[in-house]
Amino acid sequence: MNAIEQALTFLKNGKLVAIPTETVYGLGADARNPTALAQIYHIKGRPMTNPLIVHIPSIEAIHDWAIEIPENALKVAHAFWPGPLTLILKRHPSVLDLVTGAQETIALRIPNHPLTLQLLAEFNGGIAAPSANRYGRLSPTTAEHVRAELGDSVDYILDGGPCGVGIESTILDLSQDFPAVLRPGHISVDALETILKTDLHTKHHSKIIVPGSSESHYAPHKPLYLLEKDVLWETALHLTSKKKSFNLLSFEQKPKEMLLNINISPNQWITEPCDPDRYAEKLYADLHDLDEEKVSCILVQCPPNTVQWEAVRDRLQRAATALKQPLF
């Protein structure tokens, strides 16, 4: 029995299967099985009001899960699926409340990963799959992350290697009169507007609850402080002088020798690329590495405040510990 066959067997028997996607690994279950869906919420510690994204095998399958499907939904689906875009549509009456968080909308997408596309085609149904981690914690981008986080709680892990995009999908709401981006991601607002030929709401205060919308989310176990460059170095210097252990994520290369009597000594220093797509691809894996060290905190340099970096900034801002008082 190959890996796909094993994953199919577990899913059809109401078990949980971690599935690889281009964004992050998902904790998958048969989206028509209420017992399996309840297990997702239990294992993750996820609020029952927080809906699940259903991964489907084809654009035509939208009709099995949604009604009153606007033409714009089919336009963007043909343009970006398979890919890191989730559509919010009006739910089909047959969809379980456990999928939607008892809302009148449903979140759908086709992931762009060959193993999961094959799995979906052979399963011939919907797989509900939030990120395969405890609720609010760092998302997994490798099978090893899933094992470390969930252990035996997940029945089977379909190992598809590292995720290529590295952060969660863009969420586009098409359930109302005005299309709105409810979560930024790899698919940009500009790219969506080009297809839709209309302006999108990006500061829309929707009443719809969507995955990843909690104020605190995507967080490592260690406190993460998101700091502008000057404050970052000042904080790093202070922590070093006080012999406090910390890890550092920045755009700056670690110098071979510190100049001007500046001595910054993190346990681990990771330099991130200045390209937002490459940064996103590496982000969670790097934070997983930095979170494993026995350190007091993780210091992260703020990315640029531009539209190209919006998705990365969103994840880091939600992951960051609220700095209610100075670190020193």
Single out the residue of 126, 158, 128, 123 nearest to residue 36, CA to CA: 128
Task: Categorize the per-residue pLDDT at 321 as very low, low, confident or very high, splitting at 50, 70 and 90.
Answer: confident
Instruction: Give the pLDDT confidence score for residue 255 in this predicted structure.
Output: 63
- Same domain (yes/no): 170, 278: no
CATH of the domain at 229: 3.40.50.11030
Total of domains in the chain: 2
Instruction: Give the pLDDT confidence score for residue 259 in this predicted structure.
Output: 45
- Same domain (yes/no): 171, 293: no
Residue 159 CB neighbours (<10 A):
15
Look at residue 206 and tell me if it is in a domain: no
Task: Categorize the per-residue pLDDT at 311 as very low, low, confident or very high, splitting at 50, 70 and 90.
Answer: very high
Look at residue 208 and tell me if it is in a domain: no
pLDDT > 70: what percent of the chain? Answer: 94
CA distance 78 to 196: 12
Residue 134: both structure tokens together: 């405890």
- Same domain (yes/no): 135, 14: yes
| Stretch 4-17: mean pLDDT | 98
- Same domain (yes/no): 181, 250: no
- Same domain (yes/no): 240, 188: no
| Stretch 95-101: mean pLDDT | 97
- Same domain (yes/no): 108, 163: yes
Instruction: Give the pLDDT confidence score for residue 177 in this predicted structure.
Output: 87
- Same domain (yes/no): 240, 99: no
- Same domain (yes/no): 192, 264: no
Query: Is the pLDDT at 204 greater than 70, yes or no?
Result: no
**Residue range(s) defining the domain that contains residue 230:** 224-319
Look at residue 16 and tell me if it is in a domain: yes
- Same domain (yes/no): 179, 273: no
- Same domain (yes/no): 191, 291: no
Q: What's the chain's average pLDDT? A: 93
Look at residue 115 and tell me if it is in a domain: yes
Task: Indicate the SS3 state at residue 219.
Answer: strand
Q: Tell which of 196, 212, 234 closes a domain.
A: 196
Where helices occur in the chain by DSSP H, the ranges are 3-12, 34-44, 62-65, 71-80, 97-100, 114-123, 143-150, 189-196, 229-241, 276-292, 310-319
Look at residue 203 and tell me if it is in a domain: no
Task: Categorize the per-residue pLDDT at 270 as very low, low, confident or very high, splitting at 50, 70 and 90.
Answer: very high
Query: Is the pLDDT at 325 greater than 80, yes or no?
Result: no
Look at residue 299 and tell me if it is in a domain: yes
Q: Where are the beta strands (DSSP E) in the chain?
A: 17-19, 26-30, 53-55, 66-67, 85-91, 105-109, 127-128, 156-157, 170-173, 180-183, 224-227, 246-250, 268-271, 297-301
Query: Is the pLDDT at 260 greater than 70, yes or no?
Result: no
- Same domain (yes/no): 23, 62: yes
Instruction: Give the pLDDT confidence score for residue 324 in this predicted structure.
Output: 53
Look at residue 219 and tell me if it is in a domain: no
Residue 68: both structure tokens together: 């009153």
Q: Are residues 301 and 253 in contact, defined by beta-carbon separation less than 8 angstroms?
A: no
